[in-house]
Amino acid sequence: MTVQQISIFIENSAGRLAEATSALGAAGVNIRALSLAETSDFGILRLIVDRTDLAKEVLTKGGFTVDKTDVVAIQVPDRPMGLGTILNVLDVEGIAVEYLYAFIERCGDHAVIIFRFDNCFQAIAALTAQGIEILSAKEVSEM
Amino acid sequence: MIWNDEFETLPREALASLQLKRLQNTLERVYSTVPFYRQAFDRAGVKPEQVQSLSDLQRLPFTLKQDMRDNYPYGLFAVPMEEIVRLHASSGTTGKPTVVGYTRQDIDMWSGLMARSFAAAGVGRGDIIHNAYGYGLFTGGLGAHYGAEKLGAAVIPMSGGNTKKQIMIMQDFGSTVLTCTPSYSLYLAEAAAEDGFDIRNFDLKVGILGAEPWSESIREEIEQKLNIKAIDIYGLSEILGPGVAIECIEAQNGLHIWEDHFIAEIIDPQTGEILPDGDEGELVITTITKEGITMIRYRTRDITRLISEPCICGRSHRRLQRMSGRSDDMLIIRGVNVFPSQIESVLMQVEGVEPHYQLIVDREENLDSLEVQVEVTEDIFSDEVRILQGLSDRIRGQIKDMLNISCKVRLVEPKTITRSEGKAQRVIDRRR
């Protein structure tokens, strides 16, 4: 039930971000969700794309350092406390969230949020036990 | 294999008396033919005939690289130009290069020492030597070339550069021996991988690598990435070129300096005093058979120590420990002496760090600053910021522990650090 995310090491130099996204665009890869973590020296671009393997290949060829990580796509009710409920479940179970970011598109009347956990499977078990919907890779790619 | 059994295994006493005899002849000769040496010996108050033992050599003054520049181009030559058959020059980074001349006998001697060196590295007839040292004024290319021919191996005169072609030739011609700088060997492996070849499957078995300082960790890296034995060779144009000293393949521990042609001393680079046997200091070499240019107590600036213990290979010639740096590569950062090789060894201890790094030294508000740039490979990359920041903190901490200097560690994308096709440029000093 996990989704594959690709992450890219980006030096904080002008144009590198554009080069990465242009390389993907030229190969016909569509970005579905993204987040950019930055420090004063470098950034890490994290992407959910429609074709992960192609994206990794294209970026590696373009000289980027690329990694693939399993993340979890969670359906979050689009109302006050929607996200709070989910975080509470994780808190009770003692599951740490490394980072999270929102999907651009909605899934019906739900928002979709990408979570990065240390242990995906423990998190998935805890959330599904509480009736929280996890999206499969297929569902994400069809959104 | 031992190429010249008689001289390479000569008992120490016989070797010492041969050295003394050759030294005395050399001193007599340069005193009469080279005004520079005559004046220098006279100033020191020593006549050649007063040198009665090898320890009397200490009474003579040192020769410096600057002396060669001051006598540019031919002032130090010990024979008339009619006797010279080859000229080489060092890569002068500032101003004029230093020029060296070889007589026919010098070329013969050099080829013989290079053939000895190849043999010590396990190379012989039937081998195909891929010589990627630069041909030209630099001694590396032609020095290795003549030695390979003397040995009876097949030599491919590749020279440096044109890396794609190097890889094709290496694969198609079945090269078994690679001669180049250590950094270029890694660059070749990387470039081959980019073209979809695994250099480990080529026919290469030995790399004879030199012309720049490298560490034991880089050796491991090279041996693993190229699937070869990596042998350290040492030389400098002022003395001869490549083939002054080399590791034997049996021990791969210390470089045998050919003592029937050179006298090695280790001095304190600050005071010039001879150091006790086995201590680390600056290598000083006297040539005792070379005719074209003769060097008396030449200060190499290379930092090493002499290993007197017998070697398992059976050669009687003493060994130089792998060079730990050059006294003129030494950086002084906020008053602390730093050799790039020290930082390299810290980096190599960090899992996954590639030997691709660069040191940027600058001055900010009258204070020296050091930035260590390290390439981020897939092995160390993480999608989490704290893991990458932890890595740079760890490197910074270890450099601080080892050298007691604070530095900034900057993670950079792979291949942003300029790849050299010759000597690796590890240091950019912007204070100059």
**Are A31 and A76 within one domain?**
no
Domain boundaries defined on chain B: 1-326, 331-429
**Are A56 and A80 within one domain?**
no
Q: Write down the pLDDT at residue B421.
A: 59
**Are A34 and A89 within one domain?**
no
Q: Is the peptide bond before B414 cis (omega within 30 degrees of 0)?
A: no
Q: Write down the pLDDT at residue A40.
A: 85
Q: At residue A53, does pLDDT exceed 70?
A: yes
Q: Is B413 on the interface with A (CB under 8 A)?
A: yes
Beta strands B128-131 and B177-180 are parallel
Domain made up of B1-326: CATH architecture = 3-Layer(aba) Sandwich (3.40)
- Amino acid in the structure at residue B375: E
Contacts of A69 in chain B (CB under 8 A): 383
> Mean pLDDT throughout B117-130?
98
**Are A75 and A137 within one domain?**
yes
**Are A128 and A101 within one domain?**
yes
pLDDT over 90, % of chain B: 69
Q: What is the Cα–Cα distance from B318 to B7, expressed in whole angstroms?
A: 13
Q: What ipTM was reported for this prediction? A: 0.84
Q: What CATH number corresponds to the domain at position A123?
A: 3.30.2130.10
**Are A50 and A86 within one domain?**
no
Number of inter-chain CB pairs under 8 A, A vs B: 50
Domain made up of B331-429: CATH architecture = 2-Layer Sandwich (3.30)
- Amino acid in the structure at residue A28: G
Q: Write down the pLDDT at residue B93.
A: 47
**Are A76 and A62 within one domain?**
no
**Are A78 and A89 within one domain?**
yes
Tell which of A21, A42, A69 closes a domain. Answer: A69
Q: Write down the pLDDT at residue A15.
A: 84
- Which residue in the set B381, B384, B389 is minimally distant from A65, CB to CB? B381
Q: What is the Cα–Cα distance from B32 to B227, expressed in whole angstroms?
A: 52
**Are A7 and A63 within one domain?**
yes
Domain that holds residue A11: 3-69
Q: Is B389 on the interface with A (CB under 8 A)?
A: yes
**Are A11 and A50 within one domain?**
yes
> Mean pLDDT throughout B106-126?
98
Residue of B nearest to A8 (CA): B383
Return the HEC string of B158-179: CCCCCHHHHHHHHHHCCCCEEE
Query: pLDDT, tens digit, for every residue of B198-228?
Result: 999 999 999 999 987 788 888 999 999 999 9
> Mean pLDDT throughout A70-81?
90
**Are A59 and A84 within one domain?**
no
Query: pLDDT, tens digit, for every residue of B380-401?
Result: 899 999 999 999 999 999 888 8
Neighbours of B250 (CB within 10 A): 13
Q: Write down the pLDDT at residue B215.
A: 83
**Least confident piece of the model among A120-124, B22-26, B211-215, B231-235:** B211-215
Mean pLDDT for chain B? 91
Tracing tokens 């090269």 back to the chain, one arrives at B175
Q: Do A16 and B413 make contact, defined as CB atoms within 8 angstroms? A: yes
- Which residue in the set B381, B385, B416 is minimally distant from A67, CB to CB? B381
Contact (Cβ atoms closer than 8 angstroms) between residue B91 and residue B218 = no
> Mean pLDDT throughout A45-62?
93
**Are A75 and A138 within one domain?**
yes
